[in-house]
Structure 1
Amino acid sequence: MKNSDKKTHIRYLMLVFMGVAMLVNFIDRATLSVAAPVMSKELNFSAADMGWAFSAFGWAYMLFQIPGGILLDKFGSRLVYGLAMIVWSIFTFLQGGVYLFPSVFMALFILRFLMGMAEAPATPASSRLSVQWFPDRERGFATSIYQTAPYVALGVFTPVLSWVISIYSWHYVFYSAGLLGIVFGAFWLMFVRDPLKHKSINQQELDYIREGGGIPELGSAQRQSQQKVSWAQIKTMCSNRMMIGVYIGQFCLTSITWFFFTWFPTYLYQEKGLSIIKVGLVAAIPAIAGFVGGIIGGMLSDYLLRKGYSLTFSRKLPIVSGMLLSCSIIVANYTQSIPVVIFVMSLAFFAKGFSNLGWCVLSDTSPKEVLGLAGGIFNTFGNVAGILTPLVIGFIIQATGSFDWAIIYVGSMGIVGVISYLFIVGKLQRLTLSPAPDLTASKTAVHN
């Protein structure tokens, strides 16, 4: 640990790593959506086939959230996240060669499934690190940084990946994204550390984090030995009314995200008749708006908290107002003007970013003893949308030949989310787990 009278700011360096790691995460997720318009045509995939291919990631991502959370609590975010990044990037790279397999569709589905399995600990790991490295009054901003990575992935890299397709082929989208993740995964393992193990942090910064509500000790052997978690306690966490409302809200937000990460380029290509290069450029505009919305929403929430407003008001105001505004996406069904469509999509994605504080709420309310597991449970419920959204949209397009009802489905998620936060969530407060029963003592008492 560094000795200095002036407080260090190592937490911001860790935030840079968290942001870039999440960026790599979502670039790999976006590869299929960018390649889909050309790839599906070359490989003769129907809309329903693409719906299943898009959803493969979601199935694994949802199923492995809780196991991933358990691994995080046992081995820590640094090791689990770093190794996971390298593994999912290998699976991304291999998707560029699916045409070499006897069953192309099955190979694609399996590789996307394995990629989703490896990515399962990613967002819970970031949430866990934000609690380790940041006090409460900075956590909204920290969360907004790593949660805006999807918008950067779409805004910056969609045009780049579209250019790669136009110059080379769709295969190189997967090759380039996979190599990027493997390299950064190695850098993560070399440079990222927990607060108590980082050589450059000083006691003043540790005290600042701890006194502000952060938990630098999270993951230490001493803290892990302080609390044993039972399945009854996990059941309590899953059945708590506040958390159920937060889970529903996250499902709604994730539904909007997955439309933009799966079908949006195809929507522009097929429904609006744009070329693949124009798709890449146009798809970047809503993503940039989402990035701006995410930063403003996180900063507003922290500002309200610093001004003395309650945690409930400070977090709910951006979430509820943003989800309500995201319903504006439905207007796209009633215009043929490309500029108007892009404006509406940008407004909806800005609103989605503005309301994207679900992970911050989770960090504020989850039991401190099981933040990794809590993140896994939260992301399990939220990412049911990763399965349903691409499938529902795929079958709607297959049945109607149009995106109209698909857009209505996405827009309706904002209304459901608002209802959940206003009428189910209630007051935001940190849950506490009752001590797990001491079975040894119980048996001794019975014996005596």
Structure 2
Amino acid sequence: MSAQATQPAAGKMTGMSKETSKETQKQTPKGAWTVTFLLFLFMLVNFADKIVVGLAGVPIMTELKLEPEQFGLLGSSFFFLFSISAIVVGFIVNKVPTRWVLLTLAVIWALTQFPMVGTVSFTTLLICRIVLGAGEGPAASVAMHAIYKWFPDEKRTMPTAILSQGSAFGVILAVPALNWIIVNHSWHYAFGALGIVGLIWVAAWLALGKEGPLDTHASAVIEPKIPYLQLLTSRTFIGCVTATFGAYWALSLGLTWFTPFIVKGLGFSQSQAGFVSILPWVFGATIVILTGWISQVMLARGYTSRISRGVLGSVPLIVGGLILAMMPHVQGAGLQIALLVVGSGLCGAIYVVCPPMLGEFTPTSQRGAVLAIYGALYTLSGIIAPLVMGSVIQRAGSMLDGYMTGFTINAAIMVGSGALGLLLLWPNTEKARLTGGAAPQAAPLKSAVSPT
């Protein structure tokens, strides 16, 4: 009798526990948005550091007497250690708090800028860019891993979009300021200014940066590890790498060659180029925010992550490539710039959706490494794209013809990578396959790191 009496009570308590767990999973920990803002600034500095060589491309080529192939090598050198560093640090952040890893990376960025303040040789500039690339290689994946310690899965798309906005705003805000320094003083001082800004961020992070609490809850979860071979050969992982490879091809060309194209290819002045150079990033920022918002709304309304993340990220990449392919066939600098801005800007959608898709089926204890390997693989296009463009320009009949051929190659890669992404991105079914179709046993708050 007493056993029968206690059974419903136990069932009631279990129900209450489940309700409490569901309620808790929807709560964002206090301080999450402060850390998100600091990491937004982290990515802002990251991309300002990246773009300064492209922005100062014409003065650098003039002062150091560089051929297009040499400047292409300089653009590619940034990525020589980028992928290796990303993978190594990705495994480190599985064990070491992201707070200290992010601090170390930012210090490296700042210190590598200062040698360029004085007289510098091509070799010194090349070495500093290689070291900077090693410091920036893990940045996006570590920052994303840090953000995911503050937000449950169903709330990650918008913070991911905000973090991605750091790249756009790093260009939008930095380009006018850096270009003013380049035009009115020297490209050398533009590097020095970035070093100072980097140290300011380090001080702010020391004061306000914290480690997210959700990993503490995750440690209570009975969440078996999945062999890395299975994770890295899953079709969604391959699809994410392939799709983002094409998007990053466009981005790395934008970082290295966009401003020289405006100045040498279309005949704008350096001052005018500073304004024109921010247009792709303004448009791209809009795409990123819209993608993050639309994706989160679709998830809340019950759409699968295949649709609300996979399809939503891949289709703009295909459309962008088709738009970019029209550039050689239209007349007028204004129309060509418009096609380049829209075509390359649409790539931003894929950056918002891929990390959350990988987070859906990757165990928390392995997430840092998987995100890092993903980043390391797709950024390999950063080594290839600037070199290809430099080689094409140097061998073309005219400089403008060379640029148009290079952008056509970019368009083909975007369409192909977007189409492969559309075929391969199935994160919701990937989770079921990798876990054998059964949800893992969990302590309360397991759902805080599970996909919806």
Taking structure 1 as the reference length, what is the TM-score of the superposition?
Answer: 0.85
Among 171, 176, 181, the residue aligned to 2:188: 171
Q: Specify the code of the residue in structure 2 equivalent to 1:69.
A: G
Would you say the 8 A contact 2:243–2:420 is kept in 1?
yes
Secondary structure in structure 1 of the residue aligned to 2:216: coil
Deviations 1:276-301 (A, max 9, x none): 01001011112111111110011111
Shift of 1:234: 2.2
Q: Who is 1:350 aligned against? A: 345
Residue of structure 2 equivalent to 1:365:
361
User: Do 2:76 and 2:382's aligned partners in 1 also have CA atoms closer than 8 Å?
Assistant: yes
The one-letter amino acid of 1:255's match is W
Cα deviations by residue, 1:85-141 (Å, 9 ceiling, x for unpaired):
0112211222333x34xxx22211111111111112211112112211112222111
SS at match of 2:66: coil
Amino acid at match of 2:339: V
Is contact 1:271-1:403 (8 Å) kept?
A: yes
Partner of 2:208: 191
In 2, Cα distance between the equivalents of 1:20 and 1:247?
Answer: 25
CA offset at residue 364 of structure 1?
2.7
Residue 147 of structure 1 aligns with which residue?
A: 164
1:275 aligned onto 2:254: no
- Which is further off, 281-290 or 327-336? 327-336
Structure 1 equivalent of residue 151 of structure 2: 134
User: How much does 1:52 deviate?
Assistant: 0.8
Deviation at 1:7, TM superposition (A): 7.5
Task: Give distance in 1, aligned partners of 2:310 and 2:84.
Answer: 28
Q: Where in structure 2 are the equivalents of 1:74-223 lying within 5 Å?
A: 74-97=95-118, 99-100=119-120, 104-196=121-213, 215-217=214-216
Do structure 1's residue 396 and structure 2's residue 392 form an aligned pair?
Answer: yes
Is 2:44–2:171's contact at 8 Å kept on the other side of the alignment?
A: no
Name the CA distance, whole Å, in 1 between partners of 2:232 and 2:427.
Answer: 17
- Alignment match, 2:412: 412
Task: Please identify the structure whose Cα radius of gyration is greater.
Answer: 2
CA gap 1:7/1:72 in 2 versus in 1, 3 angstroms: closer
TM superposition shift of 1:8 = 6.1
Deviation at residue 317 of structure 1 after TM alignment? 2.8
**Any idea what the Cα deviations from partners look like across 1:343-386, whole Å, max 9, x if unmatched?**
21221233112333222322333232211111111011111111
Report the Cα distance in structure 2 between the residues aligned to 1:124 and 1:82, rounded to whole angstroms. 14
Is the contact made by 1:38 and 1:170 (CA closer than 8 Å) also made in structure 2?
A: yes
Aligned partner letter, 1:170: W
Between Structure 1 and Structure 2, how many residues are aligned? 402
CA contact (8 A) 1:57 1:112 kept: yes
Query: Residue 303 of structure 2: SS of its match in structure 1?
Result: coil
In 2, Cα distance between the equivalents of 1:349 and 1:406? 13
Q: Aligned equivalents of 1:355 and 1:373: distance in 2?
A: 20
Aligned-residue offset at 1:227: 7.8
Whole-Å separation in 1 of the counterparts to 2:154 and 2:96: 27
Q: Give the whole-Å Cα distance in 2 for the aligned partners of 1:83 and 1:92.
A: 15
Aligned-residue offset at 1:9: 4.3
Give the CA deviation at 1:253. 1.3
Residue 330 in structure 1 maps to residue 330 in structure 2: no
CA 1:299–1:380 in 2, change beyond 3 Å: closer, same or farther? same
SS in 2 for 1:16: helix
Distance 1:7 1:379, change over 3 A: closer
How far residue 223 of structure 1 moved from its aligned partner, in angstroms, is: 6.7
SS of the aligned residue for 1:133 comes to: coil
- Counterpart among 63, 69, 90 of residue 48 in structure 1: 69
When residues 316 and 42 of structure 1 are mapped into structure 2, their CA distance, relative to the original with a 3 A threshold, is same
Shift of 1:13: 1.2
- CA distance 1:368–1:216, shift in 2 (3 Å): closer
1-side partners of 2:220 and 2:71: how far apart? Answer: 46
The aligned amino acid for 1:256 is: A
CA distance in 2, matches of 1:96, 1:347: 35
Kept in 2, the 8 Å contact 1:148–1:353? The answer is no
State how far apart, in whole Å, the 1-side matches of 2:50 and 2:116 are: 12
Letter aligned with residue 414 of structure 1:
M
User: Mapping of 1:311-326 within 5 angstroms?
Assistant: 311-326=305-320
Match of 1:199 in 2: none
Work out the CA distance in 2 between the residues paired with 1:96 and 1:36.
16
Question: Identity rate of aligned residues, in percent?
Answer: 21
Whether contact under 8 Å (2:248, 2:378) holds in the other structure is yes
Conserved? CA contact 1:195–1:216, under 8 Å: yes
Structure 1 pair 228–9 and aligned structure 2 pair: CA distance change class (3 A): closer
State the Cα RMSD in Å: 2.2
Q: Please tell me whether residue 383 in structure 1 is matched to residue 400 in structure 2.
A: no
Distance 1:12 1:256 in 2: 30
* Separation (CA, whole Å) in 2 of partners of 1:394 and 1:72: 36
Structure 1, unpaired ranges of 5+:
1-5, 197-214, 435-448
Query: TM-score if structure 2 supplies the norm length?
Result: 0.84
Q: Against the structure 1 CA distance between its residues 310 and 263, is the aligned structure 2 distance closer, same or farther, given a 3 Å change threshold? A: same
For 1:223 and 1:374, the matched residues in 2 are separated by 21
Aligned equivalent of 1:210 = none
Alpha-carbon distance in structure 1 between the residues aligned to 2:66 and 2:28: 57
Q: Deviations over 1:208-235 (max 9, x none)?
A: xxxxxxx4427x9x579x8897xx9222
> 1:233 touches 1:433 (CA, 8 Å); kept in 2?
no
DSSP 3-state at the match of 1:388: helix
* Deviates most, 6-15 or 57-66: 6-15
Please state if 1:62 is matched with 2:62.
no
Q: Which amino acid aligns with 1:111?
A: C
Could you say if the C-alpha distance between residues 44 and 223 of structure 1 is closer, same or farther in structure 2, counting changes exceeding 3 Å? farther
